[in-house]
Amino acid sequence: MVVKLYGQVTAACPQRVLLCFLEKEIEFEIVHIDLDTFEQKKPEHLLRQPFGQVPAIEDGDFKLFESRAIARYYATKYSDQGTNLLGKSLEHRAIVDQWADVETHYFNVLAHPIVINLVIKPRLGEECDVVLVKDLKVKLEEVLDIYENRLASNRFLAGDEFTMADLTHMPAMRYLMGIIDINRMVKARVNMNRWWEEITARPAWKKLMVMAGS
């Protein structure tokens, strides 16, 4: 019996979990939840995820939601196979957690509204909040400077190895890299560019991109 992931393969949060499954060589099944028709808000899905979001997983009787929690659970459960995503010691694990939490609190808080305004709203024919986006981009430059500094002395965010800290950034980063001036911001920073090139060359990422139809 394989774990079922409820979500859309093109959406960032389900991709976080899928990438974890691929890095850990875990078999899975995707059950498509159609975000365009708001299937995530319907009663059947609300039983799995009471906030009406994706993803959620069902693994036999075990159920979980929140993509980062799901990824941490599987990284722990399958610690002996595939890529080690959680560090080599307690202290290292805590630094992995630290940079993974940085993704939530410093990176995603900017990336999410940027993507909503510059990618999603145009698709829905809605107006982009130009003033907000300008302000978000300024803040993003400041955050990227801190990442740049970190990656100047560390190959990956938590040290020498690819971990959950890097993985958790990838789905939203990919959307940001499709926006011209943000792409330039990243490429202008030597270490960020090096980091992004290296982590997107990983086989698991390439498989995910094929699955997502990119």
Contact 19, 7 (CB under 8 A): no
Does 50 participate in binding another protein (rule CB under 8 A)? yes
Q: Which of residues 132-161 bind another protein (CB under 8 A)?
A: 143, 146, 149-150
In this structure, what token pair is assigned to residue 37?
């028709």
Which listed residue (97, 114, 151, 156) binds another protein by CB under 8 A?
97
Does 95 participate in binding another protein (rule CB under 8 A)? yes
In terms of CB distance, is 66 or 161 closer to another protein?
66
- Buried b / exposed e over 41-69, threshold 16 CB at 10 Å, is eeeebeebbeeebbbbbbbeeeebbbbbe
In terms of CB distance, is 95 or 116 closer to another protein?
95
Which listed residue (68, 169, 174, 202) binds another protein by CB under 8 A?
68
Helix (H) or strand (E) holding 130: helix 130-153
In this structure, what token pair is assigned to residue 60?
């036999």
Contact 54, 40 (CB under 8 A): yes
What does the binding site for another protein look like in residue numbers (CB under 8 A)?
50-51, 62, 64-66, 68-70, 72-73, 76-77, 90-91, 93-95, 97-98, 100-102, 104-106, 109, 143, 146, 149-150
